[in-house]
Amino acid sequence: MEIFEAWYDESDNSVALTPLSQINRMKVIGAWLEKPVFLHRIEADSLEAACELHQEKMDWDNFGVQMDLIATCPQCGVRYFARRSTSCPSCEAAY
């Protein structure tokens, strides 16, 4: 099983689903997103399986109306869309 994370980049309105190992590497070399907003974490056997789960979680029909309020988790520091979650989607801390 591998861990994948989905992130939104506020600077170019893109969504990325990336293996956690690649995210850490990208952060180290300075190639990470300009204005990252955390969406969700998925554990899956393959990228293909992670993509299927990601599509289910995204709720694309409502995604645009959930993007207007960004919160920063006081516990882990991750930015996330507060209207998409009742707690931090990264560390599960309630806000």
- Could you give the CA distance from residue 88 to residue 90 in angstroms, rounded to a whole number? 5
- Residue 16's nearest CA partner among 31, 6, 2 is 6
Measured between its terminal Cα atoms, the distance across the chain in Å is 30
| pLDDT per residue rounded down to tens, the chain (95 residues) | 999 999 999 999 999 999 999 998 999 999 999 999 999 999 999 999 999 999 999 999 999 999 999 999 999 999 999 999 889 999 987 65
pTM above 0.75, yes or no: yes
- Could you give the CA distance from residue 89 to residue 86 in angstroms, rounded to a whole number? 8
Q: Where are the domains of the chain?
A: 2-66
- List CB contacts of 32: < 8 A, sequence separation 6 or more: 23, 26
